[in-house]
Amino acid sequence: MELTVVGCWAPYPRAGEACSGYLLKTEQATVLLECGHSVFSTLQKYQDFKGLDAVIVTHYHPDHFVDLYALRHALRGAKILGRRTEPLRLLVPAQPVDVFNYWYGTEEFKVEPIACPVTVKDLKLRFPPAFHTMPGYMVVAEDSKGSRLVYSGDTDFVEEGLGVAEGADILLAEASILERDREYARKAKHLTAREAGRWASMCRVKRLVLTHFWPEYSLQDIEAEARTEYSGGLELAREGLRLRI
Q: Domain coordinates of the chain in residue numbers?
A: 2-237
Residue 242: which of 21, 44, 23, 19 has the closest Cα? 23
Strand order across the beta sheet in which 109-113 lies: 109-113, 88-92, 54-56, 30-33, 21-25, 2-7, 242-244
Looking at residues 114-132, what average pLDDT do you find?
97
Going by pLDDT thresholds of 50, 70 and 90, the confidence category of residue 95 is: very high
Going by pLDDT thresholds of 50, 70 and 90, the confidence category of residue 126 is: very high
Going by pLDDT thresholds of 50, 70 and 90, the confidence category of residue 209 is: very high
Percent of the residues in the chain that have a pLDDT greater than 90, as a whole number: 99
C-alpha span between 130 and 15 (Å, rounded) = 29
pLDDT, residue 190, reads 97
Looking at residues 137-161, what average pLDDT do you find?
96
Going by pLDDT thresholds of 50, 70 and 90, the confidence category of residue 211 is: very high
pLDDT tens digit string along 223-242? Answer: 999 999 999 999 999 999 99
CATH class, domain 2-237, is alpha beta
Q: Is the pTM of this model over 0.85?
A: yes
Average pLDDT of the chain?
97
